[in-house]
Amino acid sequence: MPGQDFDAVFVSPVGRLGIRVEDGALCRLEFLSGHYRLRTARCADTRRLQRSILAFFADPRAVSGIECRLSGTAFQCRVWRALRRIPAGKTMTYGGMAERLGTSARAVGNACRHNPVPIVVPCHRVVARHGPGGFAGDRQGRLVQIKQQLLYAEGVEIRG
């Protein structure tokens, strides 16, 4: 049954979100379709993380202290750490991030695509030189609209 692999599935301003928590740390956050059934958080850590994620939409800094347990390559983890250093309300281009990390814009985009906890690791703050760029592997459609909504929640408006 959809949603069983999440510790909570809840409604947010950008649609349903599913989260997975291990030992009090967030390890997965996904943007879900409406086909996923809502799932109430059963433990205190999951409820706390859900509240922090929802608080993002009123104050994007609310997620900055969330502990994450991320699994990825050494390079992906390096990019994800750099993403967490982009302040709320600010953006950086894929090229700018690549220059900072001594790599290519495509490699940065690929690491962003595999980010297991968007919003908390704010890959939405990395944008194309002209427009929002892709999001979670999509170049247009629902996920790119979500990226624009996340940026808008931070006071950033980027037209594609």
**Model pLDDT for residues 22-78, shown as the tens digit of each residue:** 999 999 999 998 889 999 999 999 999 999 999 999 999 999 999 999 999 999 999
Of the candidates 43, 77, 112, 123, the residue annotated as catalytic is: 123
Q: What is the pLDDT of residue 160?
A: 63
123 is catalytic: yes
Same domain, yes or no: 121 and 78 = yes
137 and 83 in a common domain: yes
Whether residue 48 lies inside any domain: the answer is yes
pLDDT score for 34: 81
The dihedrals phi and psi of 16, each to the nearest 5 degrees, come to -75, 140
Q: Which two tokens stand for residue 121?
A: 């690791």
pLDDT value of residue 40: 96
Distances (CA, A) of 127 to 65, 68, 160: 23, 23, 10
Q: Are the C-beta atoms of residues 149 and 14 closer than 8 Å to each other? A: yes
Instruction: Say yes or no: 80 and 58 in one domain.
Output: no
pLDDT value at residue 1? 42
This prediction's pTM:
0.92
23: left (phi > 0), else alpha (psi -120 to 50), else beta?
left
**CATH number for the domain that contains residue 78:** 1.10.10.10
| Domain around 133 | 74-153
Average pLDDT over residues 143-148: 94
